[in-house]
Amino acid sequence: MSNPPQTAEHAGAPAIRVLIAEDQTLMRHGLRTILELEPGFAVAGEAADGQQAIERALALRPDVVLMDVQMPHVNGVAATAQIAAALPGTRVIILTTFDYDEYVFDGIKAGARGYLLKDTPADDLLAAIRRVHAGESIVQPSVAARMIAEFSRRRVEPQEPEYEPLSEREREVLRLLGDGLSNREIAARLVLAEGTVKNHVSAILEKLHAANRTQAARVAREQGLI
């Protein structure tokens, strides 16, 4: 009878060191218990808020971080971004009760390698940690379906650029700029110093993401600003 294949644990591979970042004490202790009862895992440490998660990740350099989203001081998405940037070898799995689209997209954008809901069965959680540690990315199927739908929607729907609101004075300058007046002519019309008009024009170009006066006037007309 042939011997069963060796697993990583039987082969003497080092345990996967996990940092648990969770502000709910009972949830944090429950995750610790799950990990401590499973061969091949070790709890590197715990964090009760996002700032602690960052500090302890930097100090302990765990293989994987289980990261809650909504935590005091620094939220899980911001903590994930800092950890991912500072520790490329540490992989973050977001583990949360929320499957809202903004959390999913922000978490993945921040560098998370996995996104699981807290009602994930223990065996599935452990399997996900192993796979993420091995270099895979894991997103719970129900969440993945929403991600695919959202990506499809974003590809179809053109995204309107966001413009910073203009002050009333900037709108006055913009209207005259759209009429083709020079800075000197605008200054005379509004009884302003020419340098002040120049500053307003620079602010208008920046707020409208325009490269020049002509483009600013075109954007203004498209947006109904003049």
Residue that wins the pLDDT comparison between 99 and 36: 36
φ/ψ (deg, to 5) at 217: -65, -40
| 21-80 tens-digit pLDDT | 999 999 999 999 999 999 999 999 999 999 999 999 999 999 999 999 888 888 888 899
Residue 132: pLDDT band by 50, 70, 90 thresholds?
very high
Beta bridge partners of 140: none
Q: Are 113 and 84 in contact (CB under 8 A)?
A: no
Q: Is the pLDDT of residue 221 over 70?
A: yes
Q: How confident is the model at residue 13 (pLDDT cuts 50, 70, 90)?
A: confident
And the tokens for 166? 């203009």
What's the Cα-to-Cα distance from 14 to each of 11, 39, 58, 183, rounded to whole Å?
Answer: 9, 10, 20, 70
pLDDT of residue 6: 42
Rounded CA separation 45/20 (Å): 6
Give me the pLDDT at residue 225, please.
Answer: 74
Which amino acid would we find at residue 50? G
* pTM of the entire predicted model: 0.60
- pLDDT digit string (tens) for 191-211? 999 999 999 999 998 888 888
What the chain holds in terms of domains, given with CATH numbers, is 16-156 (3.40.50.2300), 168-222 (1.10.10.10)
Residue that wins the pLDDT comparison between 215 and 38:
38
Q: Report the pLDDT averaged over residues 155-167.
A: 67
Q: What is the mean pLDDT of residues 109-124?
A: 89
| C-alpha to C-alpha distance for 139 and 130, rounded to whole angstroms | 14
Backbone angles phi, psi at 180, to 5 degrees: 95, 10
Compute the C-alpha angle 28/52/30, nearest 5°.
5
